[in-house]
Amino acid sequence: MLSIGNDRLSLSISPDYGARVLSLTDRNSGRQWLVTGPQSSYPGEGTAYGADEAVGWDECFPTVLSCDHPAWGGRLRDHGVLWGRHWSVDLIAPECVETRFETSLFRFTRRLTVAGAAAVANYRVSNLGPRQLPYLWSQHCLLATSRGDRIFLAGHERLRIGEDPFVWPTYQGRDLSIVGPPDEGVALKAYSETPRRASATIVGPNGGITLDWDDVPAFGLWLCYGGWPKGNPVNQVALEPTTAAVDNLADADTLGQARMLGLNEMHSWSVRMTLTDRDDRIRR
């Protein structure tokens, strides 16, 4: 395990397990922002991403849900090819770590840098193979919520769940900006498009965290308050900048939302996470 940080925040990373970020800690409040749990076994090609796997911060690429795609040689596993795999460490310093996953088809690199109250994730993906590669990427950062937390969105107030559009934050009479109790029995995934600068925030009596980006075209919001999976439900929220407003690459391709990585081409993008102090305006 590797660790980076400063006086305000710290992160721990497991290069041997998909470069998963295991912890993101606010050193002012002591709050652990990521869902934690024991590391599951190393996943095979047919492994589903279930409750035991749903901890920490993983990278989903080139799909989120399992699907078939001929450009990738057939079936893509659940939550993509990166998580749970061994990544190489290209750089480690007190406030920065760069890790890389590489095959004959592509190279995926993530550099995490801590500066003040922010952690910046800079991504690069390069095509190393003989053909163009369509892909979908999603930052899969599972956040541990607390009673009194609220969710705020900026730059993307129109969302949809499946084919059902709604205006944030009200969906079917429920205010989704209010974090639900862990036994509410809710599990839903909403998407929006973010063609310009956008952000998503969780804030509460013990501080907050904001994700912001301006070069990622979509956003996914996963709210799970004891509604998934059956028999072993979890309590978590994910704010997910993503390159497509769907869950799998085949659908993204059909909708024209898959990114196409040309021969010898490299794409890059970034997401910033910033910790905020206690907000006394938030009350329950």
pLDDT per residue as tens digits for the range 230-271: 989 999 999 999 999 999 999 999 999 999 999 999 999 999
CA dihedral over 189, 84, 114, 245, signed as positive or negative: negative
Among 80, 92, 108, smallest CA distance to 5 is for 92
- Give CA separation, 196 vs 47, 205, 219, 238, in Å: 36, 30, 12, 20
Length of the chain as a residue count: 284
- 32 and 54 Cβ atoms separated by less than 8 Å: no
| Ranges under pLDDT 70 in the chain | 279-284
What is the spatial distance between Cα 76 and Cα 126, in angstroms, rounded to a whole number? 19
- Return the CATH architecture of domain 2-276: Distorted Sandwich (2.70)
User: Residue 281 has what pLDDT?
Assistant: 45
User: Residue 279 has what pLDDT?
Assistant: 61
Among 40, 43, 17, 12, smallest CA distance to 232 is for 40
**Prediction pTM value:** 0.95
